[in-house]
Amino acid sequence: MKLKTEILLVFLIVGACLTIGTGVLYFYNARQIILEAASNQLESLSATKKHRLESIIYKKQEELRLVQSRLFQAEYLYQYNVFGQLSDTVAQSDRRLITKNIKKLTHDIESFKNIHVLNKEGIVIASTDSGSIHFNFSYFDFVQKALKLENSIYPIIDYKTDDIYLCLAGPIYYKQKLQGALLIETTTADLATLTGDYTGLGNTGETTIGQLLADTVACFITPTRNKECKFEKVFLNKIEPQSIFLALAGNEKLFLNVLDYNHKRVAASCRYIAATQWGIVTKIDMDELMAPAEALKWMSIRIGLGALFFLFLVSMILASSIVKPINKISEVARKVSQGDWSQQVRIHSNNELGDLAVSFNRMTKSLIEAQENLELKIEELDKSNVSLEKFAFVVSHDLRSPLNSVLGIAELLGTGNMGSLNDDGLQMLKLMQNKIEHMKGMIAGILEFARLNHQLPTHEVVDLELLIARLKSLDCGNVAIEVAQELPPLNMNTVVAEQLFQNLWSNAVKYNKSEQKKIVFSAYQSENDTVYSVTDNGIGIGVSHFDTIFEIFHTVGPKGSDSTGIGLAIVKKIVESYGGKIWIKSQLGEGSTFFFTLPYAQVNSTIKQVLQTY
């Protein structure tokens, strides 16, 4: 992965983690605050509504007590009870008086719809609604309560008109005795005003007041906000009770995410009015309650995305500003590595990258200086090599002619033309001739070795088998030459290749005392190279000489032998100049094998045939 991408990724991952982490934390905190604020508002509204409802109930109870306290009415009822049994006329007159009285009351108090006066049996004896006379109310709970001296308020549903109204029921006393009961039908207008006030309740919120009709049925006393009908019945969902049943069960707290009568999920603040056994619920749909949190969520997401995009831009700029100078340096380094040392990095910042650029420029400068020095040294070395070669050539040439003269003189001495020598003298002369020949050999070897220094390795296809065939043709006495298997052609200078093989071949013959001398040429493919080998059945070499044998002038065996110690040094130099290496395996008296790696040529069979014809 590129450095710029890496930096970008690190910035983005860290940035994204921070943004998302902070965003989520912020969102959940804010959501909690919003939820708490909304819940508190709902709770305080609910408390206010309960308070107002209690005031209305209190007012209605006061009105009931007011009517109950009308003494003359109680008196008429007493008379009706006592004397009405004596004559119908009296009864009729009392009933008229009571009716007149209650009619006046319905005029005085606006919320009163009808007033019924019941005898002790619960039968209407006087009413503002003449149609209700003689109606038996004794089966109603609230009438039973009234006849047992208890005041109560109870909703009555008029199924004909689908109207709901409140019935205020209570006993009538006279002379400290129960004379009958009073039923006042009042409208629910003031309750409807209370529940119809949606202030602070948004688009879906409302207040509902409910009363149990049976164990699993409740009805709303006032119209609901949906206004599907004037009153509404709710049947208890036993698995998950609706909010009004929670209030009717006496709960006085906030419920979140509860079921409502209209099957929606709501936040409902429940209250219970013990005096009337009513439940009052102030609630709002969860969707609406959570709307600000939901809006906040989307806003947070948008801000987060914006922040990420901004982060991406900043990361890009930062990554570029970091990577650009590095790229500059690496580009210059690439050019320098290709040999263009004149390149300089141009970064003028005061930071670490600027320091790096300065150091880099300093380094290339010193490299240039070192290179110049090196070139100078090479030039000097070349010059000295050339003069050395010249020197070797001149020396060897100049030494050769006096040596040849000495040899000539020695020969003359040997023929006896210059005076006869005795046997000892002749032996000494022979020894001297041998030494001069050895010296000539050494001088020739030095010249050859020195020349190799200056020869650059050249390449051509050398048919090795042909080369060995030529070696075979040299008459060296009893020598059997074998080629172990097909030898791959070499890729090197032919003359140099001959020089190499000839040296090894002549050593194999020279340092061999076997009756039947044997030389085996072979090649095999190792892991990376082709390894050639020359094996003989000669005198062998001790392990202690394995490393030193390739050094110039290093010889093995008795002093005074005709070995110059140059042949293997030349072989090593040739192998190494072609990038190869040479080593030996040998055992004294058992023969030696010289291994070396050399470049080989890929030649197809046709070319090989052509090569062999030459």
CB of 564 to ligand ADP, least distance (A): 4
Of 134-142, 325-333, 388-396, 550-558, the segment contacting ligand ADP by CB under 6 A is: 550-558
β-strand pairing of 517-525 with 479-483: parallel
* Helix (H) / strand (E) containing 266: strand 265-273
Indicate the residue whose CB is closest to ligand ADP. Answer: 567
Tokens of 610: 């052509």
Beta strands 591-597 and 217-220, pairing class: unpaired
Q: Which stretch binds ligand ADP (CB under 6 A): 14-22, 137-145, 279-287, 507-515?
A: 507-515
Q: Can you read off the two tokens belonging to residue 561?
A: 């032998």
Helix (H) or strand (E) holding 154: strand 152-158
Crossing angle for the helix pair 423-454 and 567-577, to the nearest 10 degrees: 10
Handedness of CA 594, 597, 600, 605 (dihedral sign): positive
487 binds ligand ADP (CB under 6 A): no
Distance CA 147, CA 170 (A): 7
Q: Which one of 110-118, 121-129, 459-467, 531-539 is the stretch in contact with ligand ADP (CB under 6 A)? A: 531-539
Rounded Cα gap, residues 181 and 116, in angstroms:
8
The Cα–Cα gap between 356 and 333 comes to 12
Report the distance separating Cα 46 and Cα 247, nearest Å. Answer: 12
CA angle 54, 57, 58 (to 5 degrees): 85
The dihedral sign for the CA sequence 220, 221, 227, 230: positive
Using the rule CB under 6 A, give the single segment among 158-166, 238-246, 292-300, 559-567 that binds ligand ADP.
Answer: 559-567
Task: Report the nearest approach of ligand ADP to the CB of residue 532 (Å).
Answer: 15
Contact region for ligand ADP (CB under 6 A) — 18-26, 375-383, 417-425, 535-543? 535-543
The verdict on 557 binding ligand ADP (CB under 6 A) reads: yes
Among 487, 496, 549, 574, the residue binding ligand ADP under the rule CB under 6 A is 549
Write phi, then psi, for 483 (nearest 5 degrees). Answer: -115, 115
Residue 509-528 contact track with ligand ADP, rule CB under 6 A, x = bound = --x-----------------
Identity of the residue, 462 or 568, whose beta carbon is nearer to ligand ADP in the bound complex: 568
Q: Does 502 sit near ligand ADP (CB under 6 A)? A: no
* Nearest CB to ligand ADP, comparing residues 357 and 566: 566
CB of 543 to ligand ADP, least distance (A): 13
Specify the residue, 216 or 548, whose C-beta has the smaller distance to ligand ADP: 548
Stretch that binds ligand ADP, among 24-32, 360-368, 538-546, 596-604 (CB under 6 A): 538-546
Residue 508 sits in the site that holds ligand ADP (CB under 6 A): yes
Contacting residue, 74, 270, 323, 566, with ligand ADP by CB under 6 A: 566
Task: Kindly give, in sequence order, each residue whose CB lies less than 8 Å from that of residue 192, ignoring residues fewer than 6 positions away.
Answer: 222, 223
Number of Cβ within a 10 Å radius of residue 362: 10
Q: How many residues bind ligand ADP (CB under 6 A)?
A: 20
Interface contacts to ligand ADP, rule CB under 6 A:
507-508, 511, 536, 538-541, 549, 555-557, 563-569, 592
